[in-house]
Structure 1
Amino acid sequence: MEAIVSQAWPEWSGTLRKRSGGWNNTTYFVENSEKRAVLRIYDTHKDRNKIEFEHAVLQQLGQRVLRFKVPVPILTTTGETMVQIGENGKFACLFQYLDGDSPMEEEGSYLESFGEATGILSEVLSAIDPGLTPVYRPYYELQTSYPLCSVEVMRELCMNPPEPFTDLRDELMMLFNAYEDIIGSLNELEGLPHQLVHGDLNASNLLVNSEDPVQVSSLLDFEFCTYDLRVMEPAVILSGLLGHAEAEKKIRDFCRGFSRYIRLTPAEINAISELMMLRKIDVFLHFVSRYLEGTDEYQILHEQTKRLSADLIQLSAGTAEILVILQGEQGSARRL
């Protein structure tokens, strides 16, 4: 990795320190006596078009004056934003280092700022044209996005689980039932407003100000940015807030911040409950695909199945409350 940096980005040459965490990529901090950067290795695909789309969006965002920062690719000596490495053909890219801290898992003081940042980002992305065709499909195109996860394959996996998953029959059945319900209603979503969305905003993809941790300082990881439903952006975030300590306050804080910048239509608000469920099923299919193609050992899917089935129970119990809070904050914002 050090050789790659010194050849493709010689002025950034330095020592590398691997960052822990992350499901889809490997990340290194690159440090020398004068500056720091972040090296990213794309582990789950070798598709140049996906990365070019992501980088085109980031380069345009980097030219905007925003209240938060985004990772901007650093060009190689040949003027590209990425290099292909080794015999495995994976791609690597270098980003400017962004100061800040990852929020603590149960910390919620930054949620109003996060809502504001999400609203601002949504507003800005609606006006950006990267000039490229996205590779990632909208969330509601599940069957196109996950060709390994046909209804037949999912039925067999969930109703007749193989040995590593036989202790999760109830959880798998719950997820399969939700999958079938979602598949039957996806066509109704296509008429909602569409635009560019980040698609994976959550606590692991942001930084807060080290001196003032209630303020979001950066939004990260735009790998899955694509054209999708505008309302999918808050739906992804809200789907992850249930079940945590002080969930109602966190949801209210996020919705208050978001509603200062984005006015959702009644149809978008009504779709939130279905879209939160769609997010959970999308994550499930993502890890099923990784298991079927051999990217992950069975333990990863086992862990995700338990977590996601518990999330479905939380959604079932808390969705109505989310809608009431969101409608209230959207209404309050309109009166300001």
Structure 2
Amino acid sequence: MAEPSIASAVVSTTTTATANAAELRLACETFIPSATTAVTLRETTGGVNNHVRYADAASGTYVARVYNNGKATTRVAFEHAVLLAVEPLVAACDLGFVVPRALRARDGSGDTFKILPSGDAASVFELIPGTLPKTRYADAVGEATAALSKCLEACEGDVRAIAPTSPTSVYRDIFGAFVAKGGSREAFFAEMANNSGLDDVRPAVTRLADYIRALEEKLLAIEAAGGLPETLIHGDVHYDNALVDENTGKVTGIIDFEFASYDWRMMECAAGLSKYVGEKDPMPFVQSYIKGFCRRATPTEAEIDAIPDLIKLRVLETVVYFVARSVAGEDDISQLALRADNYAARVEWIDANAQAIRDAVRASLASRQ
């Protein structure tokens, strides 16, 4: 089947919300050991959801983050619980990558995040060396993702003992992010149809709404057939949340655990693939990522059959997420407008190549034998 062309490369932008410099500095003073002396804040590249800066201090360079999540402190607490539980397991992994390590508050409380006067949470993390791989080293990113998935599965019991449920809705509850901010399924479709900020990309937005309706039926069918294996997942591992060593091509770190949850295990793979399918010629990246992922993971037949729909779910849930953030005043609808054409093209490419994606998984598993 002919492959639909992808309109443009994956869009990378920053949030339109304004960072409060005073609060970023307060975060540094709260956590950085030498923050009684001057701290220099520098812009980072990428990042859509939160306010993140490099913080240069006498004791080193750190990463300061002020969360822009509607003051959802329970999500921050869950993220930090996951990081604390999974870190020793990742450290024991032979791939040599790390996960973020939050500094403890200087006041001796042991806290890894603090609530600022605005009500937003803030943390400061140790700097992980490496650069964003983008489409390079897809095999290594896939393998590291599968290795992390096994570590998260191993520490799920420890995290559940602290937090029996996750504050982030499961992906298959596709409108969960909007409902959590006071919206509904009906309000989502109304916003998609009527928001003037989407008028310039109206054809793509209309198609995206139709794709979401069709996916709802697919998800019901998966659930009716018994669902899929579920565990603790990162939920957002892709080439913009991985760091690599340019000299070796090895993954040095996996970052941004803010969407960690108890969800279908194969959503971890789907999240990674959802980025590559937005590129101009996706299949080589898709095959390389899957080869690496299947080196350490063994998906079930049900997971293999579902993977095209799960990749679409990851793309389309993000559409709902951006609408939810816009309605909640956390960001601007332009964040979706910038991506609408690309998101629609991703879904169309997945539909055209669904069997090839499944075949790539089966071939990678067969090559291990």
Fold agreement, TM-score > 0.5:
yes
Aligned to 1:80: 111
* Alpha-carbon shift at residue 181 of structure 1 (Å): 1.3
> Letter of the aligned partner of 2:242 in structure 1?
L
Q: For this pair of structures, how many residues does the alignment match?
A: 328
Q: 1:245 to 1:165 in 2, by over 3 A?
A: closer
**Residue type of the alignment partner of 2:122:** A
1:37 aligns with 2:62: yes
- Structure 2 residue aligned with 1:184, among 209, 217, 223? 217
Aligned-residue offset at 1:246: 5.0
Contact 1:195–1:227 (CA under 8 A) maintained in structure 2: yes
Separation of aligned partners in 1, 2:282 and 2:259: 26
Q: Give the AA of the match of 1:99.
A: P
Equivalent residue for 2:71, pick from 46, 49, 70 = 46
Deviations 1:22-48 (A, max 9, x none): 111111112223322111110123122
Rounded Cα–Cα distance in structure 2 between residues aligned with 1:243 and 1:303? 13
The one of 187, 193, 196 aligned to 1:153: 187
Q: TM-score when scaled to structure 2?
A: 0.83
Q: Tell me which residue corresponds to 2:25.
A: 2
The TM-score, its normalising length taken from structure 1, stands at 0.91
Corresponding position of 1:228: 263
Q: Which residue of 2 aligns with 1:276?
A: 311
Runs of 4+ aligned structure 1 residues displaced above 4 Å come to none
Counterpart amino acid of 2:63? V
Deviations 1:248-279 (A, max 9, x none): 22222211111111111100100111111111
Q: Is the Cα–Cα contact under 8 Å of residues 70 and 218 in structure 1 kept in the other structure?
A: yes
- Say which SS state the counterpart of residue 215 (structure 2) adopts: helix
Per-residue deviation at 1:300?
2.2
Which of these residues, 270, 274, 278, is aligned with residue 239 of structure 1?
A: 274
Q: Match of 1:207, SS?
A: strand
Output the CA distance in 1 between the equivalents of 2:30 and 2:232: 34
Instruction: Determine the C-alpha separation between the residues in 1 that align with 2:166 and 2:196.
Output: 38
1:227 Cα offset (Å): 0.5
Structure 2 alignment gaps of length 5 or more: 1-23
TM-fit CA distance, 1:285: 0.3
Mapped to 2, the partners of 1:299 and 1:49 lie a distance apart of 28
Opposite residue 190 of structure 2, the aligned amino acid is: E
1:112-156 C-alpha deviation (Å, 9 max, x unpaired): 111110111111111113121310121001233321553322333
In the alignment, the residues of structure 1 paired with residue 333 and residue 139 of structure 2 have an alpha-carbon distance, to the nearest angstrom, of: 37
Relative to structure 1, the CA distance from residue 47 to residue 9 in structure 2 (aligned partners, 3 Å threshold; closer, same or farther) is same
- Whether the aligned pair in 1 keeps the contact of 2:322 and 2:336 (CA below 8 Å) is yes
In the TM superposition, residue 165 of structure 1 has moved relative to its aligned partner by 2.6
Q: Aligned runs of 1:1-336 on 2, under 5 Å?
A: 1-12=24-35, 14-64=39-89, 65-66=92-93, 67-76=96-105, 77=107, 78-86=109-117, 88-103=118-133, 105=134, 107-108=135-136, 110-128=137-155, 129-130=158-159, 131-132=162-163, 133-147=165-179, 150-158=184-192, 160-190=193-223, 191-212=227-248, 214-333=249-368, 335=369
3-state DSSP of counterpart to 1:126:
helix
CA root-mean-square deviation: 2.0
Cα distance in 2 for residues equivalent to 1:304 and 1:220: 23
Structure with more relative contact order (C-alpha pairs < 8 Å, separation 6 or more): 2
Query: More displaced, 63-72 or 90-99?
Result: 63-72
Secondary structure at the aligned position of 1:196 is classed as strand
In the TM superposition, residue 303 of structure 1 has moved relative to its aligned partner by 1.3
Q: Percent identity?
A: 28
| Structure 1 unaligned spans of 5+ | none
